[in-house]
């Protein structure tokens, strides 16, 4: 499993990964986070959606498994924006192999933390995050493997959302909501 950015995959690297994929399975994890350019600009993603689309196409042409990272709760994104990202990924052809859904964590020592301190923006509640996860799971094709539904930042650096520090509560809440859906 190799995690990288879509703008770091020249053809010679993809050819090497393709050769390796014939020997043992190769997964490439791409950090997309959002399909919305206005949001990507705010956190300095550094590449545009067409760059992601091109890397995804070239990986799939080589029959390499692709897992995409999405972050819920990015500054300025609405529930609809976040679900548009999931719907877009659900509609990819060839289909998406896997997805990692993640909550935005504001961590001390990051540019996002400085931005948040200067101009606080709303952070997702546990209920909002749970709703996004349950809705996303219903939208994704059944063949798409869910690799992550939550994560956690170091508690010593976590500025918010503070509820995310209680991982047992988060996992129990998600499990209950998914069973009830």
Q: pLDDT tens across 137-175, in order?
A: 999 999 999 999 998 889 999 999 999 999 999 999 999
- Token digits for 56? 């995804």
Is this prediction's pTM over 0.85? yes
**Buried b vs exposed e over 31-59: b needs ≥16 C-beta within 10 Å?**
bbbbbbeebbebbebebebeebeebbebb
Query: What pLDDT score does 44 carry?
Result: 86
CA of residue 95 relative to chain centroid, distance: 16
Instruction: For residue 60, give the H/E element and its range.
Output: helix 49-61
């Amino acid at each position: 499993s190799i995690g990288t950015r879509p703008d770091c995959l020249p053809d010679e690297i993809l050819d090497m990964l393709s050769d390796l994929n014939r020997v043992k399975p190769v997964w490439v994890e791409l950090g997309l986070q959002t399909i919305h350019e206005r949001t990507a600009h705010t956190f300095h993603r550094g590449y545009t959606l067409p760059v992601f689309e091109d890397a995804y196409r070239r990986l799939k042409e080589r029959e390499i498994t692709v897992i995409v990272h999405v972050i819920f709760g990015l500054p300025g994104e609405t529930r609809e924006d976040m679900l548009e990202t999931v719907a877009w990924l659900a509609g990819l052809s060839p289909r998406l192999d896997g997805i990692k859904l993640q909550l935005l964590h504001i961590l001390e020592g990051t540019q996002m933390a400085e931005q948040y301190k200067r101009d606080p923006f709303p952070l997702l509640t546990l209920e909002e995050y749970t709703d996004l996860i349950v809705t996303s799971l219903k939208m994704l094709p059944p063949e798409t493997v869910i690799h992550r539904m939550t994560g956690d930042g170091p508690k010593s650096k976590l500025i918010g959302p503070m509820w995310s520090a209680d991982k047992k509560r988060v996992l129990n809440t998600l499990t209950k909501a998914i069973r009830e859906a």
